[in-house]
């Protein structure tokens, strides 16, 4: 008997402030057969929402296209503003192997999604991750350079033109990045007891890979208007190679240089159990902890 295959998807659309719009977009993927909506996380300051879905390959593909369709309909990039880098209404569609499926199979599925995005909606597509057409495009930073406003001006050039579609962006929906990768990102925030944004930015620079920090981490220093202090906000792309505890302790040590304390931290959205267990092992000094020692894991099968 063939075991069912499951894919993880963590699409990101460029709206996190208008709750009625967020709900209308997310409603496109609620209660679909073969797909589970795990969570969605609107972020006001970033003005984006990250959705987490798990599903069988073809139902999930259709769910992601439905989500994109609603994003293109309700978000106008000529009006959208936010602190998170973005190039389109449905900014990213990243997928990852979850169970009984290989990266190569996910890569092929991502190709299908990218082709359909342009075929159905005439929104140009950039492929990233394992689907990247060149080394530069393996990372989102290169594709998003200049963001929507800057990319509009250079999308016709050989270096920056979309992988699928015309050499220009959609007039309201922009472009979408589609990718497959082995590991999904974990969104992690560490809170600092200072209102000096510059300190958070300096620490974030020390954390992120491109400026000499952890190769699997991207970070920004920001201020969340709804709470005191500042934040080092991170996308962590491999919490097996770079555990949460290691980054947390690094930020704590760096903050101490400025007489600043860490007041807490936050995982935004779902996280793999393994990524919590490796921190548990570290802080408790546990030896030979097995996942099957956790009773609830026996209910997951």
Query: Of the residues 180, 200, 219, which one is the last residue of a structural domain?
Result: 180
pLDDT tens, residue by residue, 113-168:
999 999 999 999 999 999 999 999 998 889 999 999 999 999 999 999 999 998 99
Cβ of 133: how many Cβ atoms within 10 Å?
A: 11
Are residue 235 and residue 151 in the same domain, yes or no?
no
Phi then psi for 55, rounded to 5 degrees? -165, 170
Read off the CATH number of the domain in which 140 is found. 3.30.990.10
Point out the residues that are catalytic.
84
Measured between alpha carbons, how far is residue 36 from residues 56, 225, 296 in Å? Answer: 9, 32, 20
Give the number of domains in the chain. Answer: 2
**Domain end marker among 153, 180, 207:** 180
92 and 125, same domain (yes or no): yes
User: Could you tell me the residue range of the domain that residue 132 belongs to?
Assistant: 6-180
**150 & 290 share domain:** no
Per-residue pLDDT at 297? 81
Render pLDDT for 7-40 as a digit per residue (tens, 0 to 9).
Answer: 999 999 999 999 999 999 999 999 899 999 988 9
Closest CA to 7 of 268, 182, 138, 240: 182
- Per-residue pLDDT of 224-251, as tens digits, reads 877 899 999 988 988 999 999 999 999 9
CATH number of the domain enclosing 217: 3.30.70.670
Do 167 and 70 reside in the same domain of the chain? yes
């Amino acid at each position: 008997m063939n075991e069912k295959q499951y894919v993880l998807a963590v699409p990101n659309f460029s709206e996190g402030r208008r709750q009625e719009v967020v709900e209308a977009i997310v409603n496109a993927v609620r209660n679909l057969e073969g797909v589970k909506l795990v969570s969605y996380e609107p972020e006001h300051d970033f003005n984006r929402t990250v959705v987490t879905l798990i599903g069988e390959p073809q139902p999930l593909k259709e769910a992601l296209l439905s989500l994109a369709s609603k994003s293109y309909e309700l978000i106008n990039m000529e009006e959208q503003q936010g602190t998170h880098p973005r190039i389109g209404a449905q900014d990213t569609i990243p997928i990852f192997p979850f169970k009984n499926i290989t990266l190569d199979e996910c890569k092929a599925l991502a190709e299908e999604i990218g082709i359909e995005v342009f075929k159905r909606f005439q929104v140009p597509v950039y492929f990233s991750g394992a689907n990247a057409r060149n080394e530069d495009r393996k990372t989102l930073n290169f594709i998003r350079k200049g963001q929507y406003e800057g990319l509009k001006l250079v999308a016709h050039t050989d270096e920056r033109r979309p992988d699928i579609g015309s050499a220009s962006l959609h007039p309201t929906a922009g472009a979408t990045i589609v990718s497959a990768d082995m590991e999904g990102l974990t969104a992690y925030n560490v809170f600092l007891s200072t209102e000096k944004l510059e300190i958070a930015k300096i620490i974030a620079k020390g954390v992120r890979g491109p400026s000499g920090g952890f190769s699997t981490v991207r970070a920004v220093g920001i201020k969340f208007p709804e709470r005191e202090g500042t934040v080092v906000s991170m996308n962590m792309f491999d919490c097996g190679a770079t555990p949460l505890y290691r980054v947390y302790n690094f930020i704590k040590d760096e903050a101490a240089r400025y007489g600043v304390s860490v007041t807490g931290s936050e995982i935004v959205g779902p996280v793999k159990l393994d990524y919590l267990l490796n921190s548990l092992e570290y802080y408790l000094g546990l030896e030979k902890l097995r996942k099957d020692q956790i009773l609830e894991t026996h209910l997951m099968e």
